[in-house]
Each structure stands twice: as structure tokens, then as C-alpha cells.
Amino acid sequence: HCEVCEMTLNMKNYKGYDKKPYCNAHYPKTSFTIVADTPENLRLRQQSELQSQVKYKKDFEESKGRGFSIVSDTPEMQRLRRTQEQIS
């Protein structure tokens, strides 16, 4: 007998699902579900944004007009400054 309509089933109209009998009309249909944002998808999206050439070029164009400045507190610059003071 069908689980839903209690129709008597034979070998021609029987369909089993989860070890339960169903007729053709009431056979459960499997449907796909959408997984929104898995951690892996979020990570891939962030990596894509980081590697984006458009964003890279935009940042470059913004910094291009400002010019470059040397950072004066690097360890090498501090060593050179101390050496220069010792010499003079």
C-alpha cells in the first residue's frame, strides 16, 4: 500500500523511497538546495578580490599621483645614522 494514498501496489506501479512504498503519483521528488555561503566560498571570494587586477590598478592609480616617500626609521637607516654621527 502506498504511504500517502493507501493504494494497493503491484510490481508495475511500485516505487520505493527510504524503504517505504509509494505509487507513481506520490513518489517523493528530490530537489537540489542552494548553499548560500560556505566558509570555502567566502574564502575564495576574498582571494578573488585580493587578486583582482581592477582593484590593484585602482590602488596604483591613486598612489601614483602622491609620489613616494622614504621611510626614515628602517633598521638600516638607523644604523647609517648612528654611523654618520660617529664619523662626524
Residue 74 falls within a domain, yes or no? yes
- Structurally, how many domains does the chain consist of? 1
Q: What is the pLDDT of residue 63?
A: 74
**Predicted pLDDT at 65:** 66
pLDDT tens per residue across span 3-52: 889 889 988 888 888 889 999 888 888 877 777 788 888 998 888 887 77
Q: Is 27 exposed, middle or buried (0-12, 13-18, 19+ CB in 10 A)?
A: middle
C-beta separation of 44 from 37 below 8 A: no
Note whether 16 and 23 are within 8 A (CB): no
Domain with 62, as residue range(s), is: 48-87
Buried/exposed code over 12-26 (b: 16+ C-beta within 10 A; e: otherwise)? eeeeeeeeebbbeee
In a domain, 69, yes or no: yes
